[in-house]
Homo-oligomer: A and B are copies of this chain.
């Protein structure tokens, strides 16, 4: 099975490294000549080109482009694909991707390998990036089971943990645990900066420690990624933000009314609930 990878950044590059090591021939496409050259030098791909016609020979193509250009990339790619080629993607939102790309290619299988580092670009590509990480495959009602199985085989070759669910379920779940945290964490920073007294901001900056650092980390991350989450997972993100706001109001009311025991009980619940999200991870 020949693998095609379109978009040779951190994700596409890391995938190429591992799949070549497993014996799969890898063909890479990038918009930039320099990236194609690096792909060969770093061992990300056996062949690399700026021309989508390289994909004529590929059996399974992974779209590793930004969400905003997935659809146009598949449309441009289509004339070069062999009729039984399978196309999958790595986008972090699935409902709009599956909705727009499935009509373009019946053998399209939406997927989201949930791995990454703080770095980006082909220079950041690394072996074993996906080991033990979730690889969520999101077929819809008409996705051919054979195509799903081929994507599953790739995820297993990368030693990821494979999950399968609907695009909608994926988007709702990641809104809770990935996209909502970015927004509430960014809001923390924005709120601190809204303090009117400069001497208090300065003191707060001096006293900030691990609690602030951890809570603000994802809100201080790549602005483009955060904007893409909001744009492509808008419905589910707004839903989770609305629930969050309701819970925040309940907390504020408890503090206003000095319901200390209710607050302690709530914090006990959140303490024990958290363990179901973070235990046995990494």
Interface residues of A (CB under 8 A from B): 114, 133-134, 136, 163, 165, 169-170, 172-174, 176-178, 180-195, 197, 199-200, 203-224, 226-227, 230-231, 234, 237-238, 240-252, 254-256, 258, 260, 263-271, 273-278, 281-282
Contact across chains for A220 and B184 when beta carbons are under 8 A apart = no
Listed A/B pairs (19) with beta-carbon separation below 8 Å: A114-B209, A134-B207, A172-B200, A173-B203, A173-B207, A176-B200, A177-B204, A177-B209, A177-B211, A180-B191, A181-B211, A185-B215, A189-B274, A191-B246, A208-B281, A211-B218, A214-B214, A220-B273, A245-B245
Partner of A220, one of B189, B207, B275: B275
Q: Do A134 and B277 form a contact, CB below 8 Å, given A182-B211, A263-B227?
A: no
Cα separation A197 to B166 with both chains bound (whole Å): 14
Q: How far is the CA of A114 from the CA of B210 in the complex (A)?
A: 11
- Cα of A269 to Cα of B270 in the assembled complex, Å: 30
User: What chain B residues lie within 8 Å of A194 (beta carbons)?
Assistant: 243, 246-247
Q: Is the CB of B184 within 8 A of A248?
A: yes
A200 touches B173 (CB 8 A): yes
- Contact A243 B176, beta carbon cutoff 8 Å: no
Q: How far is the CB of A172 from chain B (nearest CB, A)?
A: 5
- Are B220 and A218 within 8 A (Cβ)? no
B178 near A211: Cβ-Cβ < 8 Å:
yes
- Cα distance A232–B200 in the bound complex, in angstroms: 19
Task: Give Cα A282 to B210, complex, Å.
Answer: 8
Residues of B within 8 A of A273 (CB): 189-190, 192-193, 220
Residues of B within 8 A of A244 (CB): 187-188, 191, 248
CB-CB nearest 9 A-B residue pairs: A220-B274, A223-B267, A181-B215, A189-B270, A227-B264, A191-B244, A208-B277, A173-B203, A177-B208
Complex: chain B residue closest to A241, CB-CB: B252
- Asked if B176 and A184 sit within 8 Å, CB to CB, the answer is no
Which of A208, A245, A276, A278 has the largest count of B CB atoms less than 10 A from its CB? A208
